[in-house]
């Protein structure tokens, strides 16, 4: 498994804070269009979402939704379809989402290798907190023991990536009990805070994610001003 890209590239990173899923989805689609046309370079978006259940291309069977619509309404959890791989998942404050918009052809890597690299970014980030992240055969994502701490779900069109990985830092795990995450009933979930027994603010992990991403993908990372993306939300 090759963990480093074959050549040094540049990647502009934007830290967007908490953003509604639908707004971030539109942003990604517009950036992908611009990246495919060569109008912009590679980009890494780091954000958190307001409470939302997203449903990937694998769909959501009735038995995967374990609570009624009334519960979701009471908890103010939206439901949004999306074009990433996988089934249903929950996102909320305290969970970091890392969405690279990159040209895999320019990096010279395959989709499979790209997924491996995303998982390696998570493993290296966790190691900075003395957390050992593992792979479980047949179960995508990164696990600590028998509990999932990070998941990967992507879309690649014409070599351009969108979506990416989630990392549970300090988010509320209760909403995961409302669903069968990615169609797996009884899946255990955990967070960095839970594993460490400490309150770890999600914002404190961002710099580590960026450093590990830059190392794994062999990129020179520069921070961009979030305001400069306003034109891409429409």
Q: The domain spanning residue 140 has which CATH number?
A: 3.30.930.10
Q: Is residue 69 part of a domain?
A: yes
- Domain of 154 in residue numbering reads as 9-216
pTM confidence score = 0.93
Q: Is residue 193 part of a domain?
A: yes
d(CA 96, CA 83): 19
Q: Is residue 167 part of a domain?
A: yes
Identify the bridge partners of residue 97 per DSSP, sorted by sequence position: 47, 166
Q: Is residue 103 part of a domain?
A: yes
pLDDT by residue (tens digit) across 48-80? 999 999 999 988 888 899 999 999 999 999 999
Q: Is residue 150 part of a domain?
A: yes
Query: For residues 175 and 90, is the Cβ–Cβ distance under 8 A?
Result: yes
- List, by residue number, the catalytic residues: 182
Q: Is residue 233 part of a domain?
A: no
> DSSP labels for 89-158?
EEE-TTEEEEEEE-BHHHHT--HHHHHHHHHHHHHHHHHTTT---EEETTEEEEEETTEEEEEEEEEEET
Q: What is the pLDDT confidence band of residue 183, given thresholds at 50, 70 and 90?
A: low
Q: What is the pLDDT confidence band of residue 8, given thresholds at 50, 70 and 90?
A: low
Query: What is the number of domains present in the chain?
Result: 1
Q: How high is the pLDDT of residue 41?
A: 96
Q: Is residue 121 part of a domain?
A: yes
Q: How high is the pLDDT of residue 61?
A: 86
Q: Is residue 221 part of a domain?
A: no
Identify the bridge partners of residue 119 per DSSP, sorted by sequence position: none
Kindly state the tokens that stand for 90. Answer: 């929950």
């Amino acid at each position: 498994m090759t963990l480093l890209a074959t050549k040094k590239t540049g990647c502009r990173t934007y830290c967007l804070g908490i953003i509604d899923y639908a707004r971030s989805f539109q942003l990604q689609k517009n950036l992908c269009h611009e990246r495919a046309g060569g109008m912009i370079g590679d980009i890494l978006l780091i954000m958190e979402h307001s409470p939302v259940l997203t449903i990937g291309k694998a769909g959501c069977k009735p038995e995967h939704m374990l609570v009624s619509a009334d519960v979701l309404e009471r908890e103010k959890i939206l439901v949004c379809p999306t074009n990433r791989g996988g089934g249903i998942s929950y996102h909320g404050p305290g969970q970091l989402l890392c969405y690279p918009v990159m040209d895999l052809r320019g990096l010279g890597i395959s989709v499979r290798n790209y997924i491996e690299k995303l998982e390696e970014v998570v493993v290296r980030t966790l190691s900075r907190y003395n957390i050992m992240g593992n792979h479980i055969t047949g179960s995508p994502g990164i696990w600590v023991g028998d509990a999932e701490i990070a998941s990967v779900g992507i879309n690649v069109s014409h070599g351009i990536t969108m979506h990416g990985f989630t990392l549970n830092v300090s988010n509320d795990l209760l909403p995961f009990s409302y669903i069968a995450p990615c169609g797996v009933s009884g899946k255990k979930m955990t967070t960095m805070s839970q594993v460490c027994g400490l309150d770890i603010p999600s914002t404190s992990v961002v710099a580590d994610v960026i450093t590990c991403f830059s190392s794994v993908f062999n990129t020179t990372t520069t921070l961009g001003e979030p305001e400069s993306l306003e034109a891409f939300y429409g």
